[in-house]
Amino acid sequence: MRVISHIDELRSQMHGQHRVAFVPTMGNLHEGHLSLMRLAAKHGDPVLASVFVNRLQFGPNEDFEKYPRTFESDCDKLEKENVYVLFAPSETDLYPEPQTYRVQPPTQLGDILEGEFRPGFFQGVCTVVLKLFSCVQPRYAVFGKKDYQQLMIIRSMCRQLALPVEIIGAETVRDADGLALSSRNQYLSADERAEAPRLYQTLQSARAAVLAGEQGLTQIEQNAMNTLSEHGWKPDYIAVRRQSDLLEPSSDEVSNGTPLVILTAARLGATRLIDNLEV
């Protein structure tokens, strides 16, 4: 595996490669990330990964400085997955001047759910992803479904900007107890880690309630919020939305089996976790 930091060197190395499968990450890699590398290898050749902690998507009170950076370990893991190139730019490599040009997602998709609680987050995500796509020029790019709204926004960006990149969504990888793998799980104390699977269990209960059709969606969402609150969580949202655009479904759409997804974000202690479950 070759580790490259500079954009010009990357473009030179990848010249003539027309089936690149790209997996962008912020490092601190775990089994969930590695599953993305394996999925990428099934679609394209070669596989190229990136590690870059993107300051643009962190709010003023978020954890940019303490975000875990485990570069040496990341390299070992990627090499074992036969990744061809790791693009690991510094901030001055990727942003040699202030990044005053930004990609602003539409408000109806970018300012709801995560966008409501993390203002500017998706602008930062879209800007860095577009820039990474410009550097790497992949044919395929793999993103995890755990970040469901992010996946939807990036797909929409590629479609509207006519980017020649096929976006592949990878299923969420979970621990045996159901907790979705995340770099932020390591912030949980032992007691919090024991409690954390309740987030997925709550989604499963909400999904069962939606399929049973015995309650309105507002009541299902409120019941789920109450369940988490009663066990020490501070939920930001639990929302049942259409898979196609993350807007609220009508009662007819629910009755007719329109594909739905239940999304949640909640804080357990100092750690904010997100998850979702398709219906």
The overall average pLDDT reported for the chain is 96
Q: Report whether pLDDT(46) > 90.
A: yes
Given 6, 15, 18, 33, the catalytic residue: 33
Mean pLDDT over residues 201-224, rounded?
A: 95
Strand partners for 278: 261
- Give the per-residue pLDDT at 8: 97
Higher-confidence residue: 68 or 56?
56
Q: Report whether pLDDT(160) > 90.
A: yes
Helical pair 121-136 and 148-160, crossing angle rounded to 10 deg: 60
Percent of the chain residues topping a pLDDT of 70? 100
83, 50 Cβ separation under 8 angstroms: no
Q: Report whether pLDDT(68) > 90.
A: no
Identify the H or E element spanning 224: helix 217-230
Mean pLDDT over residues 86-90, rounded?
A: 98
207's CB contacts (< 8 A; 6+ apart) are 262, 277, 279
pTM as predicted: 0.94
Q: How far is CA 198 from CA 124, 220, 227, 269, in A?
A: 30, 16, 9, 14
Q: Report whether pLDDT(245) > 90.
A: yes
Q: Report whether pLDDT(65) > 90.
A: no
Distance CA 140, CA 136 (A): 11
Q: Report whether pLDDT(179) > 90.
A: yes
- Give the per-residue pLDDT at 214: 80
Q: Report whether pLDDT(223) > 90.
A: yes
Mean pLDDT over residues 25-31, rounded?
A: 96
Helical pair 7-14 and 121-136, crossing angle rounded to 10 deg: 50
Give 103's DSSP letter.
-
Which pLDDT band holds residue 50 (cuts at 50, 70, 90)? Answer: very high
Q: 33 an active-site residue?
A: yes
Mean pLDDT over residues 12-37, rounded?
A: 97
Distance CA 98, CA 196 (A): 39
